[in-house]
Amino acid sequence: MRVLGLYNYWIFIFLMMVGFYILISRRNLVKKILGLNIFQTSVFIFYISMGKITGGTAPILVEGAEAVVYSNPLPHVLILTAIVVGVSTTAVALALVVRIKEAYGTIEGDEISAMDNQIPF
Amino acid sequence: MTGETAFLGVVPGGVTALLAILVPLVGALIIGTLTHRPNLRETATLVTAGVLFCFVLSLLPEVLAGGRPGITLAEPLPGIPIYLEVEPLGLLFALVASSLWIVTSLYSIGYMRGNQEKHQTRFYLCFALAIASAMGIAFAGNLVTLFTFYELLTLSTYPLVTHKGTQEAMKAGRLYLGLLISTSVGLLLLAIIWTAQVAGTVDFRPGGILDGNVTGAAAGLLLLLYTYGMGKAAIMPVHRWLPAAMVAPTPVSALLHAVAVVKAGVFGIVKVAVYVFGLDFLARESATGWLVYASGFTILAASIVALRILKNQGNLKRLLAYSTVSQLSYVVLATALYSPLAAAGAALHIVAHAFGKITLFFAAGSVYTTARKTEIRQFRGIGRRMPWTMGAFAVGTLSMIGLPPAAGFISKWYVLLGAFQAEHMVAVGVLVISTLLNAAYFGPIVYMAFFQDEEPAAQPYLGGGNDLPGSHGHGEAPLPVVVALTITAAMTILIFFFPDVPLALAQALVEGVR
Amino acid sequence: MLNHLPILQVIVPLMVAPIAALVRRRGGAWLLAVFATWTSLGIAILLLRQVLDGGTIIYSLGGWAAPWGIEYRVDMVSAYVLVIVAGVGAIVTPYALMSVRREVGVKQAPLLYSALLLCLTGLLGITITGDVFNLFVFLEISSISAYALIAMGPDRRALHAAYKYLIMGSIGATFIVIGIGMLYIMTGTLNMADLAVRLPSVGGRTVSVAFAFLAVGISLKLALFPLHAWLPDAYTYAPSTVTAFLASTATKVAVYMLVRVFFTVFGIAFSFQTMNLDRVLLPLALLAILSASVTAIYQKNVKRLLAYSSVAQVGYMILGISLASVTGLTAGLIHLFNHALMKGALFMAVGAVMYQVGSVRIEAMNGLGRRMPWTMAAFVAAGLSLIGIPLTVGFISKWFLVLAAVEKGMWLVAVAVLVGSLLAIVYVWKVVEAAYFRQYVGSLEVREAPLSLLLPTWVLVLASVYFGVDASLTAGVARMAAEFLMGVAP
């Protein structure tokens, strides 16, 4: 039961592996970025789920309700930052892909590497 | 450091030692600015050499009186300064190198012009830099300083070895740099750091710094690292750079590859043996006995190679290079006997061999300049056309063999005495056999030059030489060349009759050890 | 004002960066960048002096005290690295003017300066922060701007190189966040000092896993062999200015991260006795030194050759660190500084060749010894330093490294370090022979590089000689930093 009780972490690990696998196995530059996104998102879920406390509620102070258990807000805040970082990474990556498409005429990693290797240095 | 003053009664000895490095450096700068004025440039070289010799000579009285002037230049590593200290052996080396620089400069003028060599400014500039490095080695007060100047010497002589810029010169340069730097960085530096770690210091001190810090096999290994780390001493099998370096112009072979560079190697070994290990310590340790055999083997093997070159009537400079390899190992062998008398012999042999070998190289270069002859077979009868050159050559030969009245006799005498004192019969045997071998490969050349008839000039060129086929329409070499080689030949004989100064310094070295 | 130096260190380049991007006047962005980098250097030097005088500086952001707010912490180690990073920035920007104009173009130049400043911000931030999550944020600021910088290279392959770096870098960064998250779960704090106090009592498998994630993530950033695949392409195709900047700063800051996380946060006992980090790092460092040096020998492009040499040099730093002794750590930290000097100078000299000749292949160097004497002399001098010839900084590094190895009785390690220098001779000399012994064959009339390229290069060269002759400052500070990390002295 303990193993199942930690299902949120299992989801995190599953997503992480899916993302990582796509990242490594795909040669298409855009698909790689998709994999990277899944990989990063899994970490977001990991952070958010670690802040959850059983029976806890949103960490908003309400007058007269001192006994309420709150979820830890800090991981949420952290992950907001991480999301911003992730989005900007994706943006830069996509921008690079656009430029690569312009310069090479393809977004297949293998073909690009082949073209790179044609010039001998 | 003593408070005595040395130069003109004003400059302290330590500063003079620094000046001995700075003078050639400044000379190099001046030479560099005089590219388009060859006369002025060569005057600058000669003046620099003269000034340098005066500076070095001015240190002599103080050192003979027991002074050890020193100066700290910088402290690159905590507790390990770049430190200069003048002691007898270093002064001896500096005296030899600086006095011969004057003669070599004179010789270079005749040689470089006579052969219309290119890049003469670079040549004189690098030469001055090499001398500055050699002075640094001579006056190094600790191992790191020695190592620093040792590497600078390698780097500053590299452009001289590759001077011709040909494929062959480049290959030789690679071997030169590769072998010298890889041994020094790979072995010598390791040995120095090891010493620093166990002894806590890298200073040269009378009696050594390693006694009690390493024992047994470790001491033997450390000595091995030092000996082969000083690749410039050309102990087999790290001797190959020396024959390769013979592609350089002859003045380079003469001063650097018979005196400054190679002597820096053996000088370093003597210095390490005396001031880092301490002779007593080395004599006590049984693991250090191998050095006699390594150097003895080198003496004999190099002589045999030289003999083969004679048999094939090959390149004279190459033969001289192997003779140098063999003679350098005399110094190492003398050191390896670990007896004070032999150590004095080692110091003397540094001097004796320098004057003798430079004469031989001067003669070889003189023949090349006038007759374009480089191969031994072309030397038949040349003594009649160039009596001064070949006369000097004969004197140099005497010194190499160790016959009176040449300087080589004195040093060999001391080494032999040392070998008897140490009761090392193998060493005695090596010395005797090598004397015979020396005679066997030098004697015939002198005989050919004076007593055989020239080959007919019309004979087609057989190949194997460097340049033009030998022609016979020549007389004696250009005047500067003749003057230079006469001076060194005369010095070789004079040292036999008046060995006072070298002997005094050698004794001071030994007394410092006791 | 002086109390707020730690935040100013980061804020100045961060604020100037967007302005630089917006400036339309020709050269305006460059002027701003020069201003920002030199100000940063000034601040870094002031901080170092403050730390030398009064010990560690703790600065709470916005006045929020440590466990809640973000804390900046300047100790011996970070002050030392700050000076290196800011110093390289200050020397590279003046160099950039001409080089960037030629390689990137006037139109894009403001963007490059902006990205350069952001990258500097990130690197300084990583070094100064005392909070692990903040470290991640700064890491990403520096990385994302580095991707953009590399992509600005003149060749289209720069784009692909940047993309590959982006993928590897993001994986590394994500690993680092995972590790940080696990540390947070176990301790409830993100403050490094707090973590250092709480971690020893926590222990357990999660901490070990966090350790592993952080180790791999940082090693990726560090280009530690065998995770170095992104580095050669990135350094080869980036604009020369960017290569010089990144080569002398980015990997150095990654080394700093490694030291910070494993020595300060996890603690020496846990990192080296429980997790045996040294048993992983030491062989990898040796492999990096030997294999990357050998690979460098076979390169035909000088920038790529130097890039592989950088991988090897990172190996030296990691080697020193993995010996986990005061001398070893001193060696690693000294080499951090020394390598920044010599590699910066080398890449700048190559950049000057790129400026004049338009190529950095070895054949392009043929005969340049006579045509560009000052540039090639700088290359030779810095190359000698790379080899470890005395009177250069390289010798100081080698000395301490070998001494550290001998101290520990690791003879093979000592020999490997020296073999590495011998390999360095081979690859440096390939360039030297081309420059001095081959004939120039091109049709262009090649002349010496302009002063604005030569001057910064020679500043680094002379610095590498100066600190090779008198290393008391660097060795002193590095030793203090090492002692501080090892917990030996105050």
pLDDT tens digits, A41-59:
999 988 888 877 777 777 7
Q: Report residue B211: phi and psi, to 5°.
A: -55, 125
* Chain-centroid distance, C-alpha C251: 4
Is C407's Cβ below 8 Å from some Cβ in B?
Answer: yes
The token duo for B63 is 């050192």
Q: Which of B170, B185, B197 sits opposite C422 (nearest CB)?
A: B185
In this predicted structure, the answer to whether residue C88 has a pLDDT above a threshold of 90 is yes
CA atoms within 13 A on the CB side of A91: 8
End-to-end CA distance of chain C: 27
> What's the predicted TM-score (pTM) here?
0.90
Amino acid (1-letter code) at residue B499: P
Question: Ranked by mean pLDDT, which of C51-60, C159-168, C467-476 comes out on top?
Answer: C159-168
- pLDDT number for residue B114: 80
8 Å CB contact of C181 and A46: yes
Is C440's Cβ below 8 Å from some Cβ in B?
Answer: no
Contact criterion met (CB below 8 Å) for C338 and C393: yes
The answer for residues whose C-beta is within 8 angstroms of residue B318's C-beta and 6 or more apart is: B243, B246, B309
CA nearest to C318, candidates C225, C421, C239, C179: C225
Mean pLDDT of C246-269: 90
The token duo for C224 is 């530690």
Q: Report residue B235: phi and psi, to 5°.
A: -80, 135
Q: Is C2 exposed, middle or buried (0-12, 13-18, 19+ CB in 10 A)?
A: exposed
Q: Report residue C191: phi and psi, to 5°.
A: -75, 130
In this predicted structure, the answer to whether residue C489 has a pLDDT above a threshold of 60 is no
Is C412's Cβ below 8 Å from some Cβ in B?
Answer: no
Angle of helix A29-51 relative to helix A74-104, nearest 10 degrees, comes to 180
For strands B11-12 and C71-74, give the pairing.
unpaired
In this predicted structure, the answer to whether residue B466 has a pLDDT above a threshold of 70 is no
Is A75's Cβ below 8 Å from some Cβ in C?
Answer: yes
SS3 C130: coil
Give chain B's mean pLDDT: 85
Q: Is B311 exposed, middle or buried (0-12, 13-18, 19+ CB in 10 A)?
A: exposed
Q: In which element (H, E) is residue B71 found? A: strand B70-77
CA nearest to C147, candidates C121, C160, C164, C166: C166
DSSP conformation class of B140: B
Alpha-helical (H) ranges within chain A are 2-5, 7-25, 29-51, 74-104, 109-118
Please indicate whether residue A85 or residue B510 has the higher confidence score (pLDDT). Answer: A85
Q: Which of A78, A116, A121 sits opposite C301 (nearest CB)?
A: A121
8 Å CB contact of B186 and C475: no
Q: Report residue B80: phi and psi, to 5°.
A: -125, 95
The answer for residues whose C-beta is within 8 angstroms of residue B511's C-beta and 6 or more apart is: none
Coarse DSSP helix, strand, coil percentages of chain B, rounded to the nearest 5 percent:
75, 5, 20
Q: Tell me the per-residue pLDDT of C104-161, one tens digit each, with 9 for 90 and over.
A: 888 888 899 999 999 999 999 999 998 999 999 999 999 999 999 999 988 888 999 9
- Quick check: do A and B touch, 3+ CB pairs under 8 A? no
User: How much of chain B exceeds pLDDT 70, in percent?
Assistant: 93
Please tell me the distance from the alpha carbon of residue C261 to that of residue C199, in angstroms, as a whole number: 12
Which residue of chain B comes nearest to C397, CA vs CA? B77
The token duo for B200 is 């806590």
Q: Place B512 in a pLDDT band, splitting at 50, 70 and 90.
A: low
Q: Which of B147, B162, B165 sits opposite C390 (nearest CB)?
A: B147
- pLDDT number for residue A71: 80
Is C469's Cβ below 8 Å from some Cβ in B?
Answer: yes
The answer for residues whose C-beta is within 8 angstroms of residue C413's C-beta and 6 or more apart is: C282, C286, C319, C323, C405
Angle of helix B88-114 relative to helix B479-497, nearest 10 degrees, comes to 160
Q: Tell me the per-residue pLDDT of B7-61, one tens digit each, with 9 for 90 and over.
A: 445 567 778 888 888 999 998 888 888 888 888 888 888 999 999 999 898 888 8
Neighbours of chain B (3+ CB pairs under 8 A): C
User: Please, what sign has the CA dihedral across residues C99, C104, C110, C115?
Assistant: negative
Mean pLDDT of B293-306: 92
- pLDDT number for residue C269: 84
Q: Tell me the per-residue pLDDT of B189-211, one tens digit each, with 9 for 90 and over.
A: 999 999 998 888 888 888 888 88
SS3 B424: coil
Q: Alpha-carbon dihedral of residues C59, C61, C63, C65, nearest 10 degrees?
A: -70
Residue found by looking up tokens 């005057």 in the block = B43
The answer for residues whose C-beta is within 8 angstroms of residue C75's C-beta and 6 or more apart is: C51, C55, C56, C57, C481, C484
Q: Which residues are registered as beta bridge partners of B5?
A: B12
Q: Which residues are registered as beta bridge partners of A70?
A: A57
Is A45's Cβ below 8 Å from some Cβ in C?
Answer: no
Low-confidence ranges of chain A (pLDDT < 50): none
Please tell me the distance from the alpha carbon of residue C43 to that of residue C90, in angstroms, as a whole number: 12
- pLDDT number for residue C94: 92
Q: Is A120 exposed, middle or buried (0-12, 13-18, 19+ CB in 10 A)?
A: exposed
In this predicted structure, the answer to whether residue B458 has a pLDDT above a threshold of 60 is no
8 Å CB contact of B178 and C425: yes
Alpha-helical (H) ranges within C76-156 are 76-103, 109-128, 132-151
CA nearest to B276, candidates B191, B183, B185, B207: B207
8 Å CB contact of A75 and C301: no
SS3 C74: strand
Is B283's Cβ below 8 Å from some Cβ in C?
Answer: no
The answer for residues whose C-beta is within 8 angstroms of residue B474's C-beta and 6 or more apart is: B370, B371, B385, B386
Q: Report residue B329: phi and psi, to 5°.
A: -70, -20
Amino acid (1-letter code) at residue B451: F
Q: Tell me the per-residue pLDDT of B400-454, one tens digit each, with 9 for 90 and over.
A: 998 888 888 989 998 999 898 888 888 899 999 999 999 998 888 888 888 888 7
DSSP conformation class of C437: H
Count of residues in chain A: 121
- pLDDT number for residue B7: 47
How many other β-carbons are positioned within 10 Å of the β-carbon of residue B178?
16
SS3 C152: coil
Cβ-Cβ pairs closer than 8 A, B with C, add up to 75
SS3 A64: coil
Please tell me the distance from the alpha carbon of residue C109 to that of residue B344, in angstroms, as a whole number: 70
Q: In which element (H, E) is residue B5 found? A: strand B5-7
How many other β-carbons are positioned within 10 Å of the β-carbon of residue B3?
8
In this predicted structure, the answer to whether residue B462 has a pLDDT above a threshold of 50 is no
Please tell me the distance from the alpha carbon of residue B141 to that of residue C18, in angstroms, as a whole number: 57
Measured between beta carbons, the chain C residues lying within 8 angstroms of A111 are: none
Measured between beta carbons, the chain B residues lying within 8 angstroms of C414 are: 190, 193
Contact criterion met (CB below 8 Å) for B13 and B6: yes
Residues 301-330 of C with CB under 8 A from A: 301, 304
Give chain C's mean pLDDT: 89
Amino acid (1-letter code) at residue B166: T
Q: Report residue A113: phi and psi, to 5°.
A: -60, -40
In this predicted structure, the answer to whether residue B474 has a pLDDT above a threshold of 80 is no
Please tell me the distance from the alpha carbon of residue B36 to that of residue B121, in angstroms, as a whole number: 9
Please tell me the distance from the alpha carbon of residue C365 to that of residue C383, in angstroms, as a whole number: 15
Q: Which of A23, A89, A96 sits opposite C151 (nearest CB)?
A: A96
Please tell me the distance from the alpha carbon of residue B403 to that of residue B398, in angstroms, as a whole number: 5
Check residue C474 and give left, alpha or beta (phi > 0: left; psi -120 to 50: alpha): alpha
Residues 156-175 of B with CB under 8 A from C: 162, 165, 170, 174
Q: Which residues are registered as beta bridge partners of C301?
A: C361
Which residue of chain C comes nearest to B150, CA vs CA? C390
Q: Place B470 in a pLDDT band, splitting at 50, 70 and 90.
A: very low
Amino acid (1-letter code) at residue B253: S
Contact criterion met (CB below 8 Å) for C112 and C23: no
The answer for residues whose C-beta is within 8 angstroms of residue C395's C-beta and 6 or more apart is: B76, C385, C388, C389, C468
In this predicted structure, the answer to whether residue B3 has a pLDDT above a threshold of 60 is no
CA nearest to C422, candidates B228, B174, B156, B133: B174
In this predicted structure, the answer to whether residue C86 has a pLDDT above a threshold of 50 is yes
Is C133's Cβ below 8 Å from some Cβ in A?
Answer: yes
